[in-house]
Amino acid sequence: MNDDDASRLDIEGFEERSVKAIMEARTPEMLEEQRIRFLGRKGEITEVLRSIVRLSKDERPVVGGRLNELKQRLNALIEERKALLETSDGDEEPFCGDPTLPGRRGWEGGRHVLHRVLADIKEIFFGMGYSLATGPDVELDYYNFEALNFPPDHPSRDTQDTFYINRDILLRTQTSPVQVRYMERHTPPLRIIVPGRVYRNETPDPSHAAEFLQMEGLYIDTDVSLADLKNDVTFFIHSFFGSDAKVRFRPHFFPFTEPSAEVDMSCFACKGEGCSICQKTGWIEIMGSGMVHPHVFRYAGYETDRYTGFAFGMGIDRIAMLKYGIGDIRRFLANDLRFNSQFWTEIWSGVVE
Ligand SMILES: [Zn+2]
């Protein structure tokens, strides 16, 4: 039999209509009506069976067999539905779907790897007594650069590095402006972490993105020293990467801290032997840090002879890449479920922390 004959007999159409009508019957009486309509002696199936004579001798048994199977299936479906309708007390809506269809697979999401890493980092700092501060992504040049002691001719103020909205407003290039905003409204002692998205006018490549997550830390009190900075940073690295990590501070320059240092940890992959992750140096750069520059205190209105403090900042994307061996920063925002779902080891609570 070919497809034309099948459509002439319209077995599919008959099947579809009868299954639908059976599943939509709400009472045993309605169900019986449908049984008579489709399977009764004068029912539609008899019509279809009659039309078999139009087929060739060879085709008849094939189509006949098919119709018999269908008849059995409909009878079984009616019995099943009847049992269901008779047991339901009438208040409840009976199941009206087709129980022979396969079930729909439940969809379960998961926490994005960056949020997961950030949550772990925050947990460590909350344990050390830090609290959370946030600020706007669209920022004034004043907070992003000027109050952080960036001179007017500093290269990062160039439009090639920064997305300017107009002369005074930009997309923040770092989370540090939140420090200034926070200092304006609070007096020491203060101890905060500032996670957030930052933006740079970069051409994306495996290690650069135009937007990424950063986290800043700030601790100010009357007697904060470089030793406290080393202590907190080392505690974080040991908690996050393992207590056998060696930590070193390398002198560096940032406009808003003095002295400033970049923080390296011994490579967790090769334990300092040298490998591709650490570019054969045995060390991995983790963050920038330093003692808050007195100029920044002055902008915030703090007495520079009374308070001291430290600040540090790290790229969350970079930390996640190191921790999970991810080779391309662009993967984080590519929205590829094959990548994202690798990190879904816990059920997503629906709360973005
Ligand atoms: Zn290494």
Q: Are residues 210 and 298 in the same domain?
A: yes
- Reduce the DSSP state of residue 304 to 3 states and report it: coil
Q: Which domain holds residue 319?
A: 113-342
Task: List, edge to edge, every strand of the sheet that includes 131-132.
Answer: 131-132, 190-199, 211-221, 308-315, 283-292, 257-266, 247-254
Closest CA to 279 of 352, 185, 207, 183: 207
Q: Are residues 124 and 257 in the same domain?
A: yes
Residue 208 sits in a domain whose CATH number is 3.30.930.10
- Reduce the DSSP state of residue 94 to 3 states and report it: coil
Q: Are residues 240 and 328 in the same domain?
A: yes
Q: What are the DSSP calls for 156-197, one per residue? A: GGSTTTS-BSSSSEEE-SSSHHHHHHHHHH--SSEEEEEEEE
Q: How far is the CA of 206 from the centre of ligand 1 (A)?
A: 19
Q: Are residues 62 and 192 in the same domain?
A: no
Q: Examine residue 161 and state whether it is found in any structural domain, yes or no.
A: yes
Closest CA to 322 of 261, 279, 273, 262: 279
Q: Examine residue 223 and state whether it is found in any structural domain, yes or no.
A: yes
Q: What is the DSSP letter of 128?
A: T
Identity of the amino acid at 262:
E
- Reduce the DSSP state of residue 200 to 3 states and report it: coil
Q: Are residues 230 and 321 in the same domain?
A: yes
Place of tokens 């520079």: 304
CB atoms within 5 A of ion ligand 1 belong to 267, 269-270, 275, 277-278
Q: Are residues 25 and 129 in the same domain?
A: no
Q: How far is the CA of 306 from the centre of ligand 1 (A)?
A: 42
Q: Are residues 169 and 311 in the same domain?
A: yes
Q: How far is the CA of 235 from the centre of ligand 1 (A)?
A: 21
Q: How far is the CA of 216 from the centre of ligand 1 (A)?
A: 26
Q: Are residues 231 and 325 in the same domain?
A: yes
Q: Are residues 159 and 193 in the same domain?
A: yes
Q: How far is the CA of 327 from the centre of ligand 1 (A)?
A: 14
Closest CA to 194 of 181, 185, 207: 181
Q: Are residues 79 and 151 in the same domain?
A: no
Inter-axis angle of helices 316-324 and 113-127, to 10 degrees? 110
Q: Examine residue 104 and state whether it is found in any structural domain, yes or no.
A: no
Q: Helices in 204-344 by DSSP H: which ranges?
A: 226-241, 294-300, 316-324, 337-340
Q: Examine residue 106 and state whether it is found in any structural domain, yes or no.
A: no
Q: How far is the CA of 25 from the centre of ligand 1 (A)?
A: 69
Q: Are residues 49 and 139 in the same domain?
A: no
Task: Domain count for the chain, please give it.
Answer: 2
Per-residue pLDDT tens, the chain, 353 aa: give them. Answer: 444 444 457 788 888 899 999 988 888 889 999 999 999 888 888 888 888 888 888 888 888 888 889 999 999 999 988 888 887 765 556 666 777 887 776 667 788 999 999 999 999 999 999 999 999 999 999 999 988 888 777 777 776 789 999 989 999 999 999 999 999 999 999 999 999 999 999 888 888 899 999 999 999 999 999 999 999 999 999 999 989 889 999 999 988 899 999 999 998 888 888 888 888 999 999 999 999 999 889 888 999 899 999 999 999 999 999 888 888 999 999 989 889 888 887 554 444 44
Q: Are residues 123 and 70 in the same domain?
A: no
Q: Examine residue 7 and state whether it is found in any structural domain, yes or no.
A: yes
Q: Examine residue 266 and state whether it is found in any structural domain, yes or no.
A: yes
